[in-house]
């Protein structure tokens, strides 16, 4: 278990080094992820792995690091408030990663993948873009919904909709599991 925890930590640090551009940037991202996961009661390992993939996808898409964090925080807040599982949260971030990688938002990712995991995603997306759901559908059909414009607005709308504190047993269990993972990583690094 110690070696598996360390392998996962190494994999995460490598991915964050790529997206942040340096080891120092990766350390800042790790601190950010630990604090965000703790405060929102997310499972650190799964949230951090999903964030790393999302950050790598947004790196070359015209979405800044700050905007990437806003989107992550919006999904994380929605996940906490709605009681989404770690798999559902990862799936939502995967859909957003695909949007960022493709450069345009397509119905498959927004309606299908994200909508299945995040109730109300289409309505929030339309509101974020200042259009009706029908108009949003037309924008996706014609390729006019650009990821670098959409994702930051969608992230801010999610934070607005789902922000605020909430506590649950699941959140406390996630915090405990995350602390246990950190302990295993620290133990395996001890000399």
- Please give the full DSSP string across 118-146, using - where no structure is assigned: STTHHHHHHHHHTS-HHHHHHHHHTT--B
Average pLDDT of the chain to the nearest whole number: 86
Q: How many CA atoms lie within 13 A of 7 on its CB side?
A: 4
Average pLDDT in the 1-24 region? 83
Tens of pLDDT, residue by residue over 102-134, are: 999 999 999 999 999 999 999 999 999 999 999
């Amino acid at each position: 278990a110690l070696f598996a925890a360390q392998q996962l930590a190494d994999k995460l640090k490598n991915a964050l080094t790529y997206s942040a551009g340096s080891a120092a940037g990766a350390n800042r991202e790790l601190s950010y992820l630990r604090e965000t996961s703790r405060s929102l009661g997310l499972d650190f390992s799964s949230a951090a792995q999903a964030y790393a993939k999302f950050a790598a996808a947004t790196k070359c898409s015209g979405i800044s690091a700050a905007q990437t964090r806003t989107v992550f925080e919006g999904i994380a807040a929605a996940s906490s408030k709605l009681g989404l599982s770690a798999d559902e949260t990862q799936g939502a971030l995967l859909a957003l990663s695909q949007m960022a990688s493709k450069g345009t938002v397509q119905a498959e990712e927004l309606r299908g993948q994200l909508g299945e995991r995040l109730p109300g995603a289409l309505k929030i997306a339309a509101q974020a873009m200042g259009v009706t759901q029908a108009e949003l559908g037309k924008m996706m059909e014609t390729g006019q919904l650009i990821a670098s414009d959409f994702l930051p607005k969608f992230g801010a709308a999610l934070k607005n909709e789902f922000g605020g504190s909430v506590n649950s047993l699941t959140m406390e269990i996630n915090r405990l599991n995350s602390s246990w993972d950190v302990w295993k990583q620290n133990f395996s690094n001890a000399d």
